Structure 1
Amino acid sequence: MTLSLTSFEQDWHAWHVDREAYFRDPLGWVALTGLFWLTDTDAAVDDLPGLWRADDDAVYVGADISEGLSVDGVPVDGTTVLHPVEGSPGLLVAAGDRRIEVIRRTGSVALRVHDPKAPTLAAFGGIPTFEPDERWLVTGTFTPFDDVRTITTGAVVEGLEHHHAGLGVIDFELAGAPRQLVAFRGKASGFHILFTDETSGVTTYRACRSLAVADPDSDGRVTLDFNRASNLPCALTDYATCPVAPPENRLSVAVEAGEKLPIR
């Protein structure tokens, strides 16, 4: 006998399918094959075409047109200057089927290489999860800070920092005890939460997981669905520069919900 799924389970399964499709992008996170930090001296980088260097203002890539580099469809023939923005998604340089992502992090510049033929992408078998359970769907109350606070966290790459816009705190109850999490500004709306719990480093990724939370209602109420606790890209690749959770967001409870540690 086949059991029908509840709307809660159907919604969760649709979210999970979307998450795995996101990581199967042929030029996405699982397709990364390297992370290379630049210096202020022209140098070849791994097997990439061209010579690369960076300073406090820009990135410079020099190549002959025959080397096949291009930026926004324009071939690189001589020296091209790029201006990656601190903390933002990188600028892309095409090199055949590969994409070279130029990023600036904590003042330094690196190249991330995306390759649709990456062995990690071919071997990607999906993201293991806990079974969805409505007991991990909880209501909280958002209390804004008087002013937006810049909250600095470390990163999975030693020496890097991330600076987050802290908007306030969310108070809720979980496993019979009061809890609180600091909420950062979301990408488009709502909140973005980075947290660890007693599963971190055991069955889930050690640095943190992420939770998206919609805007509060008129009474400040929000919904926290830990069934959608998500891995950051660094859980699936060694070539990401993801943040770690702030000390305030380390929960002393095992949140056995959401995404587990991927098998690599």
Structure 2
Amino acid sequence: MVGIDHRIRALLVATVILAQPAMGGESEPARYESALAEWRADRVASLKGPDGWLNLAGLYWLKGGANSFGAAAGNDLVAPEGSAPPRLGDFVVDNGMVTFKTEPGVEVFHGELPVTDMLLTDDQDGEPTLLTHGSLAWTVIRRMDRLGVRLRDYDHPAIAAFEGIESYPADPDWRIVARFEAYPEPRKIRLATVVQGLGWEPTVPGTLEFEARGQSLSLEAYRSHDGFFIVFADGTTGDTTYPAGRYLAANLPGPDGTTILDFNRAYNPPCVFSEFATCPLATPRNRLPVAVEAGEKYAEKPDSP
């Protein structure tokens, strides 16, 4: 996928919680708003956490053979100034596999173990191998036929500067029962991403059919690890919400063939928070002809002086 399955799993936990019966005499609307507020707080904590999007410091695409890495300008992969020694080492690409070779005299770690020469697992083969140097951490990502390096800085100034996410007020009318309609056979489609020339090909098992604002609506659902992942646009897109669309997670349908689409939990793509993300974009098929005034908003940041 696009390196987001573990985040979708976390988002699906909230769906399970919201589907449980009310406890302790709390009214359903109050319980719903409380659970939504908790989900939003967890969302911010996730963005600021070690695996969040705010600490991304670089995205580099690898060529075959050796790719030098460090802060010196002559490297193939140039780390942010002041974050690393002139040369940290080399990423060596051979037959679709990536090995990291540490520069002599430099300390690079995998967990607590020093690394001199290590074959790296990318993010499409389970948990990617994480290497660190000081506050820097990096993993290998695979997007279609391209291999890249995702660099994080755990001391990134964007973490401290983050002021949260503006959202629409909770609206229970946008928590909607949807009927899953399976395709005769799951399909593969190609979505464009924010990276020019880079696509994403999810599996599409079918559509989610629902009613909203007096209209019959439909969204193609993409299969994630243990649920559905949806990329959609609507009448707010490019106005009060992000121009490339928003994302939504949903559980697989129950025995009655339905699931819940809670647009109050529609969330911004990671490219809202970092230029180093590879966000898939909404297709024309998934552009809703209504304004979904629910979920996260987007306000373009003013240019720095």
Cα distance, 1:161–1:212 mapped onto 2, change above 3 Å? same
Instruction: Indicate if the aligned counterparts of 2:120 and 2:128 stay in contact, CA closer than 8 A.
Output: no
Q: Report the CA distance between 1:26 and its aligned residue.
A: 3.9
Q: Report the CA distance between 1:90 and its aligned residue.
A: 3.9
Q: Supply the distance in 2 between the matched residues of 1:221 and 1:164 (Cα, whole angstroms).
A: 21
Instruction: Give the corresponding residue for 2:19.
Output: none
Q: CA RMSD in A?
A: 2.1
| Counterpart secondary structure, 1:216 | coil
Match of residue 32, structure 1, among 53, 56, 60: 56
**Amino acid of the structure 2 residue aligned with 1:11:** A
Q: TM-score, normalised by structure 1?
A: 0.90
**Amino acid of the structure 1 residue aligned with 2:90:** L
1:99 aligns with 2:132: no
Q: Report the CA distance between 1:195 and its aligned residue.
A: 0.6
Instruction: Give the corresponding residue for 2:78.
Output: 46
1:7 aligns with 2:45: no
| Counterpart secondary structure, 1:147 | strand
Instruction: Give the corresponding residue for 1:228.
Output: 265
Q: Supply the distance in 2 between the matched residues of 1:112 and 1:64 (Cα, whole angstroms).
A: 19
**Amino acid of the structure 2 residue aligned with 1:50:** G
Instruction: Indicate if the aligned counterparts of 1:199 and 1:256 stay in contact, CA closer than 8 A.
Output: yes
Instruction: Give the corresponding residue for 1:119.
Output: 157
Cα distance, 1:89–1:229 mapped onto 2, change above 3 Å? farther
Q: Matches of residues 1-264 of structure 1 in structure 2 within 5 Å?
A: 6-42=30-66, 43-44=68-69, 45-47=77-79, 48=84, 49-64=88-103, 66-77=105-116, 79-84=117-122, 86=124, 90-188=128-226, 190-261=227-298, 264=301
Cα distance, 1:254–1:109 mapped onto 2, change above 3 Å? same
Q: Report the CA distance between 1:242 and its aligned residue.
A: 1.6
Q: Supply the distance in 2 between the matched residues of 1:177 and 1:55 (Cα, whole angstroms).
A: 53
Q: Supply the distance in 2 between the matched residues of 1:231 and 1:88 (Cα, whole angstroms).
A: 25
Identical pairs, percent: 36
- More divergent stretch after superposition (204-213 vs 161-170): 204-213
| Counterpart secondary structure, 2:130 | strand
| Counterpart secondary structure, 1:9 | helix
Q: Report the CA distance between 1:187 and its aligned residue.
A: 2.4
Cα distance, 1:67–1:262 mapped onto 2, change above 3 Å? farther
Cα distance, 1:135–1:87 mapped onto 2, change above 3 Å? farther
Q: Report the CA distance between 1:137 and its aligned residue.
A: 1.5
Instruction: Indicate if the aligned counterparts of 2:56 and 2:150 stay in contact, CA closer than 8 A.
Output: yes
Instruction: Indicate if the aligned counterparts of 2:240 and 2:299 stay in contact, CA closer than 8 A.
Output: no
Q: Report the CA distance between 1:115 and its aligned residue.
A: 0.8
Q: Report the CA distance between 1:177 and its aligned residue.
A: 1.0
Instruction: Indicate if the aligned counterparts of 1:235 and 1:262 stay in contact, CA closer than 8 A.
Output: no
Q: Report the CA distance between 1:181 and its aligned residue.
A: 0.6
Q: Supply the distance in 2 between the matched residues of 1:38 and 1:142 (Cα, whole angstroms).
A: 40
Q: Supply the distance in 2 between the matched residues of 1:33 and 1:85 (Cα, whole angstroms).
A: 18
Q: Report the CA distance between 1:225 and its aligned residue.
A: 1.0
Q: Report the CA distance between 1:244 and its aligned residue.
A: 1.1
Q: Supply the distance in 2 between the matched residues of 1:132 and 1:181 (Cα, whole angstroms).
A: 22
Q: Supply the distance in 1 between the matched residues of 2:155 and 2:142 (Cα, whole angstroms).
A: 25
Q: Supply the distance in 1 between the matched residues of 2:229 and 2:220 (Cα, whole angstroms).
A: 9
Q: TM-score, normalised by structure 2?
A: 0.78
Q: Report the CA distance between 1:151 and its aligned residue.
A: 1.9
How many residue pairs get aligned? The number is 259
Q: Supply the distance in 2 between the matched residues of 1:160 and 1:198 (Cα, whole angstroms).
A: 26
Instruction: Indicate if the aligned counterparts of 2:121 and 2:127 stay in contact, CA closer than 8 A.
Output: no
Long gaps (5+) in structure 1? none
| Counterpart secondary structure, 2:255 | coil
Instruction: Indicate if the aligned counterparts of 2:90 and 2:103 stay in contact, CA closer than 8 A.
Output: no
Q: Supply the distance in 2 between the matched residues of 1:216 and 1:6 (Cα, whole angstroms).
A: 26
